[in-house]
Chain A
């Protein structure tokens, strides 16, 4: 007899949960352990907050002349990052994280323009030297950051692990990004709610998701409030300034990693983001800077 099991946990700096139907508690526990172990391993390798991560090692060696060896998974993630860079006209740039030195979450005033300009030469994915077995950041101070990719990828990987264990009905949430393992046992989709970017306790859209994933990007939690103006945590790699145009975007796609990067690209495209979303063909929900909501989830 199938029972539902819910495992809340903390990973990648966010609240996460795995909820699914299994025939016994012991089996459910096994599946959850495999998922949690895999997600922790991804965090351990790709977190920029951990000194012992592969990512920190790559960043520490920037400009030192020492390459870092790559495994197949990291290479695949870099290829994906490369695709995001190409499809976004160089706006989705995994080297733009250096800007966070000036646009940190505890910033109370705008950084001086010259300092922002001084960081721009450290940004540019095209400058990175990488091949299928090694990567090297050619300038001291350059940084790689898989924000907008790894957490979403982890949600997809978790779904794959559940499928391997024969789990057919369930849903995974990693810090707001959702990936469906399979519909409810009666075939219905899981209820999914999208919050108001400015009032987290208010729901702006609700729908059912039987397969695929939803990912969001926007000024939900991370933003800077300087002199009463909200600045997005998403930074334009060409200007070094926060993007303005859309408050939040949620995308439905088959894979969470695609939903996440499409949402991020739309945000980075600022005032051109909405038109790009309309053309993308994917179902989306978008909140414009004036608070207007565009709901294309059912189309």
Chain B
């Protein structure tokens, strides 16, 4: 049975029927979506000052198997090119500056970094009455990095499905084999490993028919080679250069994160919805981070939707981070000048526009989405920050276009 475009008379009768008490809004049949779902997305990421550029291609397909199972598969290809900061140094005036890897005439794209990352992941979800189990795994590869990962998630509904509890666990096994380059002093046989595990406990509570609250706690443990094989650290005695070493980080990291999300629906504004997120994370490297995000999902007319989004992020520096170090490297067990471990803040804002076309041909719906996001990273934006790392400020923009087909 397929439903064609209905007349306004029938639509109005259906709307009137939905006001009757006791009617199920949707004819639910388990939670399996009995449709096939195909997604394709393209994204272009571009950092300021001609640094990194990334082209992102992503495809996903999910399909029902019987009435209680869905299978999904996801493919990603990232093409990375450009340059990135390698180390910080003091100039003739004693000011700290950033050294960015330059163009490399020997590389395939003429830039110092030309990489391709391919990833495939898949999952299977089985739905019981009031519960679901998901298992999945994936594989990703770039020329110097291979990752294999597994994950599982259990979800239980309680309290007439108003409360959902989620348990998740995932593990990743990574192999790092840095390629020979100007910025890698290790020999070509060097190979290192990293393992990560993460556990999640989450609760989703439907508060009333207009709002829901979600809270997740995650615990992560990473061990092995956690350094960046292409980053360096400069050491100074006063203003005199004394030592130059590759980035060296502790071989373990414990982290906790707490995410809270509140969603509220506003029927009076044409079914708009407000999403508010706050995330706090802390790890034993000394980085505490706060993320605040707000977005407004506004349907306009004819299944057009616009989503403005705002995000603020702030983190403290890692205990072993300094812009440049003083003395000699032997005095430190760990050291890094990676700007990602510095204290900084970031503000980003974005806008997405989507259009959904329902029941075209054999497809149930076709949805197009396009988005743009601007991100500004500055040490001035850090909560309680002093702007001491302003030399590493940068920004990027990200444009995306995607379409989703349900059939």
Residue ranges of A at the interface with B (Cβ–Cβ < 8 Å): 38, 72-73, 76-77, 79-80, 83-84, 86-87, 153, 156-157, 159-161, 163-164, 166, 168-169, 180, 182-183, 185-187, 189, 207, 209-212, 252-255, 257-258, 261-262, 279-283, 297-299
Contact = CB atoms under 8 A, between A and B. Distances in A.
Nearest to A169: B29
Contacts of B28: 163, 168, 182
Given A76-B19, A209-B1, A262-B10, 14 more contacts: A38-B22, A76-B21, A156-B22, A160-B23, A163-B24, A183-B67, A187-B34, A187-B67, A212-B1, A255-B17, A255-B23, A258-B14, A297-B1, A299-B4
Contact of A186 (B19, B21, B66): B66
Interface in B1-60: 1-7, 9-10, 12-14, 16-17, 19-24, 26-30, 34
Q: What 6 A-B pairs have minimum CB-CB distances, sorted nearest first? A: A187-B67, A281-B6, A83-B16, A211-B27, A182-B29, A157-B22
B160 interface: yes
A160 B22 contact: yes
B29 A262 contact: no
Given A160-B23, A281-B6, A258 B13 contact: yes
A176 to B, nearest CB: 19
B208 interface: no
Contacts of A83: 12-13, 16
B12 A87 contact: yes
B30 A182 contact: yes
Nearest to B66: A187
B129 interface: yes
Contact of B130 (A72, A160, A166, A280): A166
Contact of A258 (B5, B17, B129): B17
Contacts of A163: 24, 28
Given A163-B28, A258-B14, A280 B7 contact: yes
Nearest to B26: A254
Contacts of B1: 189, 207, 209-210, 212, 252, 283, 297-298
A83 B11 CA distance: 11
Contacts of B19: 76, 79-80
Contact of B20 (A77, A183, A187, A211): A77
Given A166-B130, A255-B14, A262-B10, A180 B24 contact: no
A168 B5 contact: no
B3 A283 contact: yes
Contacts of A209: 1
Contacts of A182: 27-30
- Residue in A185, A281, A299 with the greatest tally of chain B CB atoms within 10 Å: A281
Interface of B: 1-7, 9-10, 12-14, 16-17, 19-24, 26-30, 34, 64, 66-68, 129-130, 160
A224 B14 CA distance: 32
Nearest to B27: A211
A278 to B, nearest CB: 10
B21 A72 contact: yes
A281 B11 CA distance: 10
B27 A257 contact: no
B24 A156 contact: yes
A27 B262 CA distance: 35
Nearest to B18: A255
Contacts of A77: 20
Contacts of B23: 153, 156-157, 160, 255, 257
A258 B10 contact: yes
A125 B66 CA distance: 49
Contacts of A189: 1
Contacts of B67: 183, 185-187
B30 A280 contact: no
A166 B129 contact: yes
Contacts of A254: 14, 26-27
Nearest to B67: A187
A244 to B, nearest CB: 23
A156 B20 contact: yes
Given A79-B16, A80-B17, A183-B29, A282 B22 contact: no
A153 B4 CA distance: 23
Contacts of A157: 22-23
Contact of A76 (B20, B24, B68, B130): B20
A214 to B, nearest CB: 10
A280 B22 contact: no
A80 B22 CA distance: 14
